Amino acid sequence: MPESQALYPKIETFDTGFLKVSDLHTIYYEQSGNPEGKPVIYLHGGPGGGTSAHDRRYFDPAVYRIILLDQRGAGKSTPTASLEDNTTWALVDDIEKLREHLKIDKWVVFGGSWGSTLSLVYAQEHPDRVKALILRGIFMLRQSELRWFYEHGGASNIFPDAWDEYVKPIPEDERGNMINAYHKRLTGSDEEERVRCAKAWSTWECSTSKLYVDPVEVAKASEDIWALAFARIECHYFYNKGFFKTDAHILENIDKIRHIPATIVQGRYDVVCPATSAWDLHKAWPEAQFEFMADAGHSAKELATTARLVKAADEYKTL
């Protein structure tokens, strides 16, 4: 059965808009499903990945008021790929501004990969506004996680062919710190080099996100505008250590959200955000539902993961 059959049918929006959240940034948001329904917000990955119509389909449109937003610099938000005033804490504030703008008291928060990071941090900052959490592909932006995927000796051992393409734009004498090397080029003045590096960075992630490499997913990394936003914003966040004061910020603040109903879904063979991160979160937060998907990698668009995420959203319809 294809992944799409586990989802709810395609739907159109009933509302779209732009919310000015700072002197520089304006974020895009949309609503679909039931205008009088139970609010759920979808937080996309990356950072920098943006949303798509596909992301509406995890939720029962008869029950949920489905809210998507493009984070600063991503998707339809402007200015595109901007790194200025683009931090974890700014995004948390943006989510709150959107909640207030839409006159929502509490909502279910859904996020995968970087979206799981942002969901957890938002919930820790505003626990009284979160009815439940649905989390996938756990990423806590710890240095061990970044080293595993972006530096030699982790994911490079599983995808050596894709790794060779990832390191190509970087001179050999700079490959000891790939995040720094990419940051230098993605924020540099050479536009041709920025685009080339953005595509290489994005292709590395798209090539490794599924248990079986998906050519359609990989092809997305060849789109200049998407790749630039994705790579520049991701690298900016990773270079700045997520703007956290400590490496274990999320784990250190679990007590703030321990009471919130939560479901954690993790692909067993996730190479991008390895299962050890989800397991660490599970051990710190045993009250949350936790499940490994035995035949899945990182992507939410793998059948087992998709079906479990839809089930989690269905379970929280009665809240």
Question: Residue 3 in contact with residue 293, Cβ under 8 Å?
Answer: no
CA distance 270 to 276: 10
Instruction: Take residue 272 and report the two structure tokens written for it.
Output: 């991008």
Tell me how far apart the 2 most distant CA atoms of the chain are, in Å.
58
Active site residues: 113, 270, 298
CA distance 244 to 224: 30
CA distance 13 to 121: 28
What single string gives the DSSP state of each residue in 118-176? HHHHHHHH-GGGEEEEEEES-----HHHHHHHHSTTSGGGT-HHHHHHHHTTS-GGGTT
Best CA proximity match to 139, nearest among 68, 226, 259, 237: 237
CA distance 120 to 111: 9
Question: Residue 187 in contact with residue 83, Cβ under 8 Å?
Answer: yes
CB neighbours of residue 264 within 10 Å: 22
CA distance 193 to 186: 8
CA distance 174 to 179: 10
Question: Residue 79 in contact with residue 103, Cβ under 8 Å?
Answer: no
Question: Residue 93 in contact with residue 70, Cβ under 8 Å?
Answer: no
